[in-house]
Structure formats: structure tokens, C-alpha cells
Amino acid sequence: MTSEVKVNSSSNYARNPSDLRGDDWLIGYSCSEFHQIYQSRVQKLAEFIQTQGVSPRVLLAEPEPTAFLASFLAAVWTKSPVFLANPNWVKAEREQVLKLTQPDIIFGKVAEYNLSYIHTNHVSIPNRSILIPTGGSSGNLRFVIHTWETLTASVQGFQEYFNLKQINSFCTLPLYHVSGLMQFMRSFTTGGKLAIFPFKAVEKAELISFDPSDFFISLVPTQLQRLLNSTQTTHWLSKFKTVLLGGAPAWLDLLQQARLHQIRLAPTYGMTETAAQIATLKPEDFLAGNNSYGQVLPHAKIRICREDHQELGVNQSGIIRIEANSLALGYYSFTNNKFIDKEPSQRRTLNSDDVGYLDEQGYLTILGRNSSKIITGGENVYPTEVEAAIYSTGLVMDVAVIGLVDADWGQVVTAVYVPSFPDILISTLQTALQDKISKFKQPKYWVAVESLPRNAQGKLNFKQLEKLAENMIGEVG
């Protein structure tokens, strides 16, 4: 087997990695170094296949972007199933993922993984599976199972929605995460350029000489807020073709700040299971005052349904049901490692945990997560709505709203927040909320903290959050 192994890509502009040795597609890193690593990794995988007669399970834990991308494409091009790993996982997480995946080959931080185990996992993994980690912040690790076809289906929907041939991406997000990986996929499969830089360099305005006018950048809300805190980075951000915003709900004040500075923001709705966004608000609509998540991309379809799956009408809120060619095939975990084997061309269905509605023009609004819904005194409260109202007061830097168990009310609305100023009184917060949301939605408990337990993508660890709130309320009580 040679490095000329072909992949049946569904993208019209897919490249062969062997042809990229002299290309300038990778900005910030060496294209020649990429090619050398790619050839070396392909050779190692080909030798395994030749001697063992099967494709190896690959665990990809490369911290360096060039090596990560070269190794990823080597695995794909040799049809080897590849598990993407966070190179910064701690020992317990590494042991967990090693026991779960039982890889034949590890690329990356090999010394941190002990391969002296006996294979006990006999679950067959289809060749060319791309397994993306999810759910590690508050429980057992699991992997979402994608293929080259599901990922490129997402790219094609993106291309058609934005009416582009080539997509240039500026990436500051982790490549092992779907938000970072899909930036690479869009650029690589469409013949575009990929710029990769650490967010710290962006935040320090070290890259303001870089012309971003033809690039898409993807940010999470906390990153956007940090960039808007500086005049230099705000001006630089306003030059981007589009600023995709996802990963966590954005608060209203943040959207208003971005609009004030003419940032071409595109709030997006999607998840690991959908290979990133399936709905996106176009920058023109955002600048015109629309605060929704936009319209559904061409490769997907959204239905709003009741819990019994009956479809609801326009402006009626319910569970978001997703059909898309980009949907993952299933999960790989300790409790659920069975594969759903369907043809890539078939539309699949996912009943999400999100609640929202579609308006007359097909714009999607997200109200919150069904599982995080707070039922207090028989009333339904969605934390996202309450958080947005609290942010709009300008009195907090960060906030998360949760429901704590209560003998009288079932649950009570509780706000854990980082105050904008050290001496803000709870009574001041309560007064500021009076005309913004109904009384039953207003927090009964307010817990001030120095920071919220978030991961690198801005997602909250709710188990830690609940424990923190319960402990602090108990101390006050």
C-alpha cells in the first residue's frame, strides 16, 4: 500500500494529501513538514495493514496542529478507524479512553499511554470511522461516530448556504473537537486555506497584521467577549468575512456589542452529532437586528415536535427534531458501543434535547434544553431565557441558571454568577430584573463566585455547578 490510497470523498474539490507538499494552504505552520509527517504516518499504517491484514485502530493525541492534521489524513486515507483525543486529558481520562478504545497505534503523546493491555474489546469498528469525543466534562467519555461522508455532507451544506466554492478558515479552536475539525474539513475539501493560531495570540493582538477579509473564524461566546474588550482586536475582528458563533448560548448584551461594532456575526446551532452547524444566521440578517440562529442549511431539515413526536406549527415551541446527511452513525462508549450501519446518502433522524421554534421565514429560535428545564411551582422555566435577562442588566460578567431541589416548589431557580463589580448587592440584581422576566422566572437564590466551571469551549460542568451552589447556599443558611 502506498500514500496514493484514494478516499471516495463526496466533495467536488477534495485534495489528495500527497499533492500538498508545495502548497501554501496551511498558514501558521510548515506545509513541507505536514507532507513529511503525512508520508511517515501513511507508511507506518500501511506496514501494519500489510503484516496484520486489517486496518489498525488509531488513537490520535497529537498536541501540535501539523502532526494532528497529517496523522488524521493518514488514518482516513488508509481507511483506518481513528479516535480523536484531547492531548490534555489527565491520567484518569487517559486510562478511561485507553480501556475503551484499545488502540493498535497511538500518534501523539505515546509516553503518557500504557499499551501493555490485553485486547478484550471485540466490538468491530467499521473502517474509515472518525470518532470524535464528547461528554467528558461531567461523566464517562464517549465518542460520536462519523465518517468522511457525514463530515463532507456538512461542508457541502455550508458551501451551498453561503454560496461559496472555496472556504478559508481561521481556526483557534481544538482540532480534536468538532468545531475545530470542521474548519479544517471545509478548507481542505474545498481547496481553501486554513490558518491556525492559538487564541492567546489573537487576544494579545499579535495577529492584527493578518488580513482576515476572506476568512471565516469560529468562536465561542467567551472568546468573542474577550476580543470585544480590546479596541485593536475588535477592529480586527470586524474585518472577517464571517464570525461563526457557537458552542454555548450567547447573551443579548454580547450580541448587541458585536452589532454595535459591525462584527459580521453568524450565530450557529449544531452539535458534535450533526458535524457542526445545521442552522446559521447570515451576517446581513444579524446586522439588521435578527437575534435568532438563522435558517436551516440545505443538507438538513428541522421539525418542531411535541414529546409524542407530533409536529407543531409555526411559532409553536417544542423539541427540535433533526434530519440530516451529516448526522453521526451512533455512539461508541462503555455502555453503548453498537453501530447504526446506514448508507451515507440516507437521511437520519435525531431527537435533540433542545426546545425551540421556527417562525414564518424559517428562522430558528432556541429556548433552552429540555433536560435543563426548571419546573418550579408547576411553571416551566428555561435557564437560557433567564441568563439572557440577567446578562442584559450589565451587572454580571458570567452567569449560569440552574434548578435546585426544593420541598415546597419542586425546584427553585438559582443563579450562579460572576459580578461585574465586587460590591453589587443581590437586591440591585433583583430590582434590575423586575421588568425583564416574569416573577416566577426570577432567581430565588443568588450565588456569587469568582468564575464558573467551564471547559475550553465554554461549556459548563453542571455537576460541579450544582455542588458549588448547594455548598454555598448551605453555608449561608
pLDDT tens across 226-239, in order? Answer: 899 999 999 999 99
pLDDT of residue 140: 66
Q: What is the pLDDT of residues 386-409, one digit of tens each?
A: 998 898 898 999 999 999 988 888
Q: 348 CB contacts (<8 Å, ≥6 apart)?
A: 323, 324, 325, 327, 329, 340, 342
Q: Place 5 in a pLDDT band, splitting at 50, 70 and 90.
A: very low
Percent of the chain with pLDDT over 70: 88
| Mean pLDDT for all residues in the chain | 87
Comparing 16 with 254, the larger pLDDT belongs to: 254
Report CA-CA distances (Å) from 39 to 32, 127, 184, 195.
11, 20, 19, 22
Comparing 124 with 345, the larger pLDDT belongs to: 124
Distance between CA atoms of 181 and 178, rounded to whole angstroms?
A: 5
Comparing 296 with 24, the larger pLDDT belongs to: 296
pLDDT of residue 344: 41
Are 222 and 189 in contact by the 8 Å Cβ rule? The answer is no
The answer on pLDDT for 63 being more than 90 is yes
pLDDT of residue 21: 64
What is the pTM for the complete model shown?
0.81
Question: 80: which 3 cell numbers?
Answer: 483506518
What average pLDDT does the segment 77-102 reach? 88
Q: 402 CB contacts (<8 Å, ≥6 apart)?
A: 372, 374, 383, 414, 416, 462, 465, 466, 469
When mean pLDDT is compared across 86-100, 318-332, 387-401, 459-473, the lowest value belongs to 86-100
Question: 290: which 3 cell numbers?
Answer: 435578527
What average pLDDT does the segment 282-296 reach? 97
Question: 231: which 3 cell numbers?
Answer: 479596541
Distance between CA atoms of 229 and 225, rounded to whole angstroms?
A: 6
Distance between CA atoms of 171 and 25, rounded to whole angstroms?
A: 13
Through-space distance between the first and last CA atoms of the chain, rounded to whole angstroms: 69
3-state secondary structure of 277: strand
Q: What angle do CA 320, 145, 367 make, to 5 degrees?
A: 20
Question: 346: which 3 cell numbers?
Answer: 440516507
Q: Place 99 in a pLDDT band, splitting at 50, 70 and 90.
A: confident
The answer on pLDDT for 249 being more than 80 is no
